[in-house]
Structure 1
Amino acid sequence: MNQKIKRTATKSVTGVLLSIIIFSFSGVHLPVLDSTADSYFKESITKAGVSYGVCRIINATVSVIKESSLEVEPAGIGLSLAIGQIVDPINDMVERLSNVLVMSITSLGVQELVYEISVTLVPSIMAVVLLLLSLLVWLENDRLVKVQNVLINILIIASIARFCLPISSIANQFLQEHFFEDKIVKANAELARGTVDLGQLNDVQLPKYDGIIGTIENGTSYLKQKTIDFKKAIEITIENNGLIIETLLRLTFLYLGIFIIQVLVLPLLIFWFMIKIVNILFTSAALTAV
């Protein structure tokens, strides 16, 4: 009887001490694990924001080109329509990539928020659960045993929730550095170059219609030069059109991959894996006790 009381007292005191220690870690960031998670979330959101900014610049450039083409319609309706039709696919791809980027940034932001909440609240929850278990070990009742099992499950899930996102962020950062980062940086650089070349269309002005006599007075050389300038502008647009669309597609696939792998698959996979490990450990401990 005395041995049983001693074992119960040991469990109770150990639980109380652990509860106090864990409670003191509320809001505390662990040196390696949490610093990696903080760095990952900050860098990922920043880089996605940079890509989104490039998309907005392209979108603004295309909008200006379309508006400019409308202004020169009196000089040549067919030519101005050609520019609008050429840049339309770019505009469509920019919108699709922007949607993927917004989805990725939002998901990363939600993950970061959940992570910060877990850093602050999970230790407190674990401390309260341990304190309750320390008190319940003194009471022998079948119903209370079920309550203890529920509290133990809550304790396990809380501890896994605390470490799941930091561990997944380490795996995500590895993927980011060794697979996604270089490709995204290269694609952003190509987009920036394409946007600069595309912006040259804003400098092209078609000759305004000034009546039959006025137009004849302008001379054939003036009209010829304007025709050459406009032809060059069309060639630049067609050349950059394919490059920009290809780069936008590549970025869309990359960020869609980031969203699926880093935001959905890895956190859920690591959570499932940690649950399995805990179940195996508890099963082994139960068999050993028997």
Structure 2
Amino acid sequence: MPEPAAQVKHTLLITLISALLFAASFVKIPVADKLADNYFSESIQAATIAYATTRGVNAVVSVVKESHLELAPAGVGITIAAGQILDPIDDMTERLSSVLVAAIASLGIQKIGFEISEVISFKVIAIILLLSVPMIWLNKTGLAMPLLKLAIKFCLILLLLRFMLPASALISHSLYANWLQPGIADSMQKLSIISESYDKMSNMPPEQSQGFFSSMTASAADKVENTRKAFLTMVENAEHIINSLLQLMTAYLTIFVVQVLLLPLLMLWLIAAMFKSRTLDEFTVVLTNKLVPVHS
């Protein structure tokens, strides 16, 4: 049977490790935590701007489709043509908006999960270690060893989660910065020109020097002219607009798939593999045998 001095030594060691882990919970992991936090914040901001731009394009399309434009003699058939030309863009903006909402939600949930893990992971491990101290003093392996083995496995899984969330953010950041961001920036630049047309059409103050009816007439005429220009711009750049929308949709679908499906599934696979790992079982058995007193 191990001597009481060894039990005291193990108890003090676990208590010291627990205290260090509890103190470490108030300290960020150098570089990794900062990069992960910046990635989530910047990605959510970029996705929100992309959503606002997309809705701006959709608003321009809606205004133009509902307007009666005289772009040809007598304006024959122009309203139908406008609807037929702009329907694909309208459909694309609606679909992209849904993708962006899903991407923003997934990024927000992961940011919250990262922040919670950052605060509580080491604290929970410290508490589990402290709760395992009484097992060191038990003389019966029938109860102590299984509980201590489970506690050790659970602590290792929490450590894995603590470091995997920043790691997954770094992987996503690398994918975003090196592959997706240039295309997203280019698409946003092209679409922002269209979305700005909505502000011009909706924020047109009447001339102060004119009378009420003449100012209203001038304002209406200006709105019609701006709507006509917006329509012509969208017709001339329809292919570029659709390509930009497709590029944005592809980029944010990639972010969604990687962060919501691939990386979480990889994390679950690693956790399951840890539970089934013979190496981990052998490690926990060796550590438990050293900590738990056993009758000779």
Change (3 A) 1:23 1:236: closer
Structure 2: how far apart are the matches of 1:156 and 1:276?
A: 12
Q: Which residue type is aligned with residue 244 of structure 1?
A: I
Which secondary structure does the structure 2 equivalent of 1:65 belong to?
A: helix
Say whether 1:176 aligns with 2:186: no
Q: Give unmatched runs, 5+ long, in structure 1.
A: 203-229
Shift of 1:111: 0.3
- The number of aligned residues is 261
Q: Is the 8 A contact 1:22 1:123 kept in 2?
A: yes
* Map 1:89-104 → 2, pairs under 5 A: 89-104=88-103
* Map 1:192-203 → 2, pairs under 5 A: 192-195=192-195
Say whether 1:163 aligns with 2:172: no
Aligned identity (percent) is 36
Counterpart in the other structure of 1:282: 280
Q: Which residue type is aligned with residue 152 of structure 1?
A: I
Structure 1: how far apart are the matches of 2:114 and 2:260?
A: 13
TM-score scaled by length of structure 1: 0.78
Shift of 1:42: 0.8
Say whether 1:264 aligns with 2:237: no
Higher helix share: 1
Which secondary structure does the structure 1 equivalent of 2:176 belong to?
A: helix
Structure 2: how far apart are the matches of 1:162 and 1:143?
A: 29
Structure 2: how far apart are the matches of 1:270 and 1:6?
A: 41
Shift of 1:26: 2.9
Structure 2: how far apart are the matches of 1:151 and 1:286?
A: 9
Say whether 1:26 aligns with 2:11: no
Structure 2: how far apart are the matches of 1:37 and 1:10?
A: 38
Q: Is the 8 A contact 1:41 1:112 kept in 2?
A: yes
Q: Deviations over 1:232-272 (max 9, x none)?
A: 98764433222211211121111101111133312432564
TM-score scaled by length of structure 2: 0.76
Q: Give unmatched runs, 5+ long, in structure 2.
A: 202-227, 290-296
Change (3 A) 1:271 1:169: farther
Q: Once structures 1 and 2 are overlaid, which stretch shifts more, 95-104 or 139-148?
A: 139-148
Counterpart in the other structure of 1:152: 152
Structure 2: how far apart are the matches of 1:8 and 1:71?
A: 92
Counterpart in the other structure of 2:251: 254
Shift of 1:183: 1.2
Q: Which residue type is aligned with residue 192 of structure 1?
A: S
Structure 2: how far apart are the matches of 1:270 and 1:179?
A: 23
Q: Is the 8 A contact 1:164 1:267 kept in 2?
A: no
Q: Which residue type is aligned with residue 126 of structure 1?
A: I
Counterpart in the other structure of 1:139: 138
* Map 1:55-66 → 2, pairs under 5 A: 55-66=54-65
Shift of 1:140: 2.8
* Map 1:163-242 → 2, pairs under 5 A: 163-195=163-195, 236-242=233-239
Q: Once structures 1 and 2 are overlaid, which stretch shifts more, 186-195 or 14-23?
A: 186-195
Shift of 1:195: 4.7
